[in-house]
Amino acid sequence: MTASSTNNIRILSIKYGTSVDGIGLRTSLYCAGCENRCPGCHNPQSWDEKGGEAISVDELYHRVVEADMNVTFTGGDPMYHPEGFIALASLIKRNTNKTIWCYTGYRFEELLSHPLRRQLVELCDVIVDGRYIEAERDLSLHFRGSRNQRIIDVKASLDGDVVLFPC
């Protein structure tokens, strides 16, 4: 997990006003680095943890605030290098009322057993989990690419069974 430090996150792109990475118009931060390397991934350029450019957490926070939309962390995989995203999500949650969605190839249950990843999970409102599986691709799905992926209501799921987010 070396793609970011607490002060910087390697970002491939920022999409303002996107509606494909969660409910409503969102600011989506596409990070560099993913160890899952799912066959058929729509964003294989995101696998390289040295891709994109290092942007400070403070700069990303200011861009999120200026955009005045809810936020999505995607990539790559934000859970591959959670430190910078923890710092960013903490600022967002402490100072705004924005929701945070996070896409990850890890399963929710795995994330909860890893201290840093769990910390990031707890700052998110919704987690879209699971590797992309090409054989389960379904273009009719909202906000995910394959049927095995789940859209999880984080707060409702932390103390028990996984609760799917209604969308």
Q: For strand 26-31 and strand 70-74, is the pairing parallel, antiparallel, or unpaired?
A: parallel
Query: Could you write out the DSSP letters of every residue in 31-64?
Result: ES--S---TT-S-GGG--TT-SEEEEHHHHHHHH
User: Has domain 8-157 been given CATH number 3.60.10.10?
Assistant: no
Q: Residue 162: in which H helix or E strand, if any?
A: none
For residue 44, the model assigns a pLDDT of 76
Q: For strand 70-74 and strand 100-103, is the pairing parallel, antiparallel, or unpaired?
A: parallel
pLDDT (tens digit, 9 = 90+) per residue, 77-114?
999 989 999 999 999 999 999 999 999 999 999 999 99
The answer to whether residues 136 and 146 touch, using CB atoms and an 8 Å cutoff, is yes
For the chain, list residues with pLDDT below 70. Answer: 1-6
- Sheet with strand 150-153: strands edge to edge: 53-56, 8-18, 26-31, 70-74, 100-103, 126-129, 150-153
